[in-house]
Amino acid sequence: MQSKSTYGTLAVKTAVLVIAALLLFAPFLFQDVRALEVAARICIFIVLVASYDLLIGYTGIVSFAHTMFFGFGAYGAAIALRQMGPGWDAVALGAVAGVVVSLVVATAVGLLSLRVKAIFFAMITLATASVALVLASQLSQFTGGEDGITYRAPDLFKPATKLMVDEDGKVARLFGVKLNGKLAAYYFVFFTSLALFLLMLRVVAAPLGSVLKAIRENEARAEAVGYRVVAYRTFVFCLSAAVASLAGTVYAIWLKYTGPDTTLSFAIMIDILLMVVIGGMGTMWGAVVGAVLMVMAQYYLRDLMGAAAEATANIPLLPDLLAPDRWLFWLGIIFILLVYFFPRGITGTIMQKGARA
Amino acid sequence: MDRISETLGRFGGVYLLPLILAALAFVLIGAPSSWATLTVAGLAMGMMVFLMASGLSLIFGLMDVLNFGHSAFVSFGAFVAASVLAALSGWLGADNVLLNIAALSLAIIAAMSFGLAAGWFFETVIIRPVYHDHLRQILITMGALIVSEQIILAVWGGTPITVLRPQFLEGAWIIGDVSIEIYRIFAFGLGLAAFIGLYLVLNRTRLGLLVRAGVENREMVEALGFRIDRLFIGVFMVGSALAAVGGAMWAGYETLITPALGGEMMIVVFIVVIIGGLGSIEGTLLGALLVGLTANYVGFLAPKLALASNMILMTAILLWRPNGLRPAVK
C-alpha cells in the first residue's frame, strides 16, 4: 500500500490494537458464555480471513476451497481426538495430518489450474470444495456424516479443571472470573490465533509480499522481471491452505464438535468472502475489522432483525425479508454495494483518507 | 501415433469421446437392457445440463464475463415453472393432451420470460459497471447469487416443493426389456432442439456471425461500427433464459425441488463448462453429454465413486487439455 503514512492508517491500526486488547481481556470484560463464544470465533475467523486475504487481496487469485482446508484441519483434530482419546498427542497428530493433506491437495490443485485463467481457478476450486463437502457427509464411518463428530478436548481445557486453587480448595477467581479450563481454552485459541496472524503479517511485510502484489498488479510484467509466477502462486496457495488448516484444528478443539456445518459448508465460504470484502482486501488489518463486524452481526444482528420483522408485520413481503433468517439477504446487498463503491473495503477506504502528498 | 490421431481427427476427434465412453460402458456393464436405460438417462441429463451451461459458456466467450450467479436463473426457472404448473394443475390432470401441452408450454414460457427479464436486469444493473475486472465480477455475481437465493427462500420458503408433471409425459415406454421414461426422451428432444437452434443461429445468420466475430475479436467488430454492447445484452438475456428453461426441465425431472437446487447444479454446470472449454456451444454439448453419461454409468457400476466421478473426469481432461476440449476463446 502506498498509503503508508496517512492519518487513516493510524486510525485503522489504533482500532486493530483496541480490538486486540478487547480480545485479550475478553473473558474478564464480558462475563457470559455467549460473549466468550463470540470472542473465540472472532479470533479464529481473523486468522482464516487473513489467510484468505493472502490469496484474494495480495495475490489476486479467487479460491472457493478455503473452507475445505479449514475443514481438513478440523476433521484431522476431530478424528484423532475421537480415535486416540483426549490428549496432546492426538491434537498434534491431527494438526499435522490436516496440514499435510491440505498441502498435498493445494499443490495438486495449484499446479493443475493456477497456470490458466483466474476464472478457471475459481471454478475448479469450487468444484473441488463441493466434492470435499460431499465426501465428508458420505464417509460417515470416519467423519460422522451430517451429524459430525463430538469428542473431548485435552484435560487442560475441561471446564472442571482448576488452574489455581484458593485456600478452600475451590477454583480461584481473578476479578470474579473462575480460573478454570474454559479460560485456558480461550487463551489457547487467542494466542495460537495471534501467533498465526503475526506470522502472516511477517510474510506480507517480507519481500515475498511485494512479489505477490506485483503478480496481482501485472502478471506478465512480474514474469518478465524474472519471478516464476506459477511457483509463487502455488506457494502462497499452499501457505494459506496450511494456515487455514491450523485454524481449523484450533476451532475443532474449542468447539469439541466438528461437522460439515461448522467447517466445510458453503455458507462459511460466503462468510469469509463477505468478511474479506467488507473489511478490505489487500491489507491484513481488513481481515481483523471484517471478521469482527461479521461475527458480531451473525450473533447480534439477528435479534435486531427479529424485532424489525415484528414491527413491520402488517406490510406484505417485508416481514419475510426482515425475518432473522434472511440476514444474508441484506448482507448480500451491502456486499454488492461495497464492491461497487468501496472496492477497498472499510479499512482500505479509511487508510486512504488524510494521505499526505 | 500421429497417424492414429490424424485418422481419429478426421472422424470427429474429441467428439468421439461420448461414443467411446458409451462403448466402454457397454463392455463393462454387460447387460444391454440396463446399458440402454442408463444411456438414455445420461443423454437426457446431459441435454438438460447443456441448456443450463450453454448460456454461461456463451456469455463468457462473448463478454469475458463469468457469471457466478448463473445458477440463480436455474433455480428461478425451476420455481417459476413449478408455480405455474401448480396453478394449472386442473389442466395437467385432464385427459386432454392439448390442455396438458398448453400447461407445459405456459410453464416453460413463464420460466423463459422470467429468465429474459432477470437476465436483462442482471446485465444492465449488476454486471455492466464491472466489465473487464474479473475479481470484482466474481465477487459481485457471487453477491447477487446470495441475494437471489435469499429471495427464493423468502418467496417460496425452505421446504421442498413437489412439481407436477403433465399426464402424457408420465410413465415409460417398454421396448423388449428396455424401459425408457418418456420424460427423458422429451428432455433430450428439447435440449437437442435448443442446440440445433443455437447452432443454426450462430453459424447461419448475420447475427450469429457478429456474435462469433465478437468472441474472436471484440475491438475489431466495434471498430467496424457494430453496437456490440446491444449484442451483449441480447446474448446475456438468451443465456439466462436457456438456464431458466434448463431449470424448469430439471424441476420436472426431479419432481421435488428445494432452494439448494441452483447451488447443486452450479457445480455440475461449471464442470461441464470447464471440460468443454469456454465460449463454444459444441464444447458445452460435448462436456454436458460426457458428464451426464459418466454420472449415470459410474452410478450404476460403482455407486461409491459416483460422487467423485465428475471430478475425476474433469481432472483427467484438464491434464490432457488444460483449456478444455473445444475452447473458442484464447
Q: Which chain B residues contact residue A340 at CB under 8 A?
A: 129-130, 140
Q: How confident is the model at residue A1 (pLDDT cuts 50, 70, 90)?
A: very low
| Amino acid, single-letter form, for residue B13 | G
Cell numbers for B92: 395437467
Q: What would the pLDDT profile of A253-282 be if each residue is shown by its tens digit?
A: 888 888 888 888 888 888 888 888 888 888
Residue with cell 491434537: A91
Cβ separation of A339 and B153 shorter than 8 Å?
A: no
Q: Return the pLDDT at A196.
A: 92
Of B201, B239, B268, the C-alpha closest to B118 is B239
Of B209, B194, B218, B260, the C-alpha closest to B62 is B218
Nearest CB neighbour to A326, from listed B126, B134, B154: B154
Question: How many Cβ atoms are within 10 Å of B193's Cβ, its own excluded?
Answer: 11
Q: How confident is the model at residue A316 (pLDDT cuts 50, 70, 90)?
A: low
Cell numbers for B110: 413463464
Q: Is residue B263 within 8 angstroms of chain A, CB to CB? A: yes
Per-residue buried b or exposed e for A274-307, using 16+ beta carbons within 10 Å of the residue's own CB: bbbbbbbbbbbbbbbbbbbbbbebbeebeeebee
Structural domain boundaries in chain A:
30-283
Cell numbers for A191: 494466542
The yes-or-no verdict on residue B10 having pLDDT over 70 is no
Q: What would the pLDDT profile of B242-297 be if each residue is shown by its tens digit?
A: 999 999 888 888 888 888 888 788 888 888 888 888 778 888 999 999 999 888 88
Name the burial class of residue A84, with classes exposed (0-12), middle (13-18) and buried (19+) by CB atoms within 10 angstroms of its CB.
middle
Least confident of A306-320, B234-248, B283-297: A306-320
Cβ separation of A116 and B267 shorter than 8 Å?
A: no
Q: Is residue B258 within 8 angstroms of chain A, CB to CB? A: no
Chain A: residue whose CA lies nearest to B158: A325
More confident residue, B16 or B184: B184
Q: Is residue B39 within 8 angstroms of chain A, CB to CB? A: no
Cβ separation of A119 and B129 shorter than 8 Å?
A: no
- Mean pLDDT over each residue of chain A, to the nearest integer: 82
Residue with cell 468421439: B16
Q: Return the pLDDT at B330.
A: 47
Q: Is residue B271 within 8 angstroms of chain A, CB to CB? A: yes
Q: What 3-state DSSP class applies to A218?
A: coil
Q: Return the pLDDT at A48.
A: 92
Are B231 and B222 in contact, with CB atoms under 8 Å apart?
A: no
Q: Rounded to the nearest 10 degrees, how much is the dihedral formed by the CA atoms of A310, A314, A320, A323?
A: -10
Cβ separation of B130 and A339 shorter than 8 Å?
A: yes
Percentage of residues of chain B with pLDDT beyond 70? 93
* pLDDT (average), residues B294-319: 80
Q: Is residue B307 within 8 angstroms of chain A, CB to CB? A: yes
Q: How many beta-carbon pairs under 8 angstroms link A with B?
A: 97
The yes-or-no verdict on residue B158 having pLDDT over 80 is no
Q: What would the pLDDT profile of A94-142 be if each residue is shown by its tens digit?
A: 899 989 999 999 998 888 776 666 677 887 888 888 888 888 877 777 7
**Which residues does A255 contact at the CB level (< 8 Å), separation at least 6?**
A262
Nearest CB neighbour to A326, from listed B144, B150, B266: B150
Contacts 24+ apart (CB under 8 A), B319-325: B319/A112, B321/B277, B322/A115, B322/A116, B323/A116, B323/B277, B324/B273, B324/B274, B324/B275, B324/B276, B324/B277, B324/B278, B324/B283, B324/B287, B325/B14, B325/B17, B325/B275, B325/B276, B325/B277, B325/B283, B325/B286, B325/B287
Q: Return the pLDDT at A307.
A: 74
The nearest CA of chain A is from the CA of B278 a distance in Å of: 9
d(CA B288, CA B282): 10
The nearest CA of chain B is from the CA of A336 a distance in Å of: 5
Can you give chain B as a three-state secondary structure string?
A: CHHHHHHHHHCCHHHHHHHHHHHHHHHHHCCHHHHHHHHHHHHHHHHHHHHHHHHHHHHHHHHCCCCCCHHHHHHHHHHHHHHHHHHCHHHHHCCCHHHHHHHHHHHHHHHHHHHHHHHHHHHHHHHHHHCCCHHHHHHHHHHHHHHHHHHHHHHHCCCCEECCCCHHHCCEEEECCEEEEHHHHHHHHHHHHHHHHHHHHHHHCHHHHHHHHHHHCHHHHHHCCCCHHHHHHHHHHHHHHHHHHHHHHHHHHHCEECCCHHHHHHHHHHHHHHHHCCCCHHHHHHHHHHHHHHHHHHHHHCHHHHHHHHHHHHHHHHHHCCCCCCCCCC
Chain A: residue whose CA lies nearest to B320: A112
d(CA A22, CA A28): 9
Cell numbers for B189: 428432444
Q: Which chain B residues contact residue A57 at CB under 8 A?
A: none
The yes-or-no verdict on residue A319 having pLDDT over 70 is no
Q: Is residue B126 within 8 angstroms of chain A, CB to CB? A: yes
Structural domain B40-320, CATH architecture:
Orthogonal Bundle (1.10)
d(CA A133, CA A119): 21
Q: Which chain A residues contact residue B151 at CB under 8 A?
A: 329
Least confident of A274-278, A325-329, B312-316: A325-329
Nearest CB neighbour to B307, from listed A60, A135, A332: A135
Q: Return the pLDDT at A3.
A: 45
Which residue out of A63, A107, A123 would a mutagenesis test of the B interface target, given it has the greatest number of B Cβ atoms within 10 Å? A123
Q: Is residue B157 within 8 angstroms of chain A, CB to CB? A: no
d(CA B285, CA B193): 12
Q: What would the pLDDT profile of A189-204 be if each residue is shown by its tens digit?
A: 999 999 999 999 898 8
The yes-or-no verdict on residue B187 having pLDDT over 70 is yes
Residue with cell 495460537: A192
Q: Is residue B174 within 8 angstroms of chain A, CB to CB? A: no
Structural domain boundaries in chain B:
40-320
d(CA A189, CA B191): 54
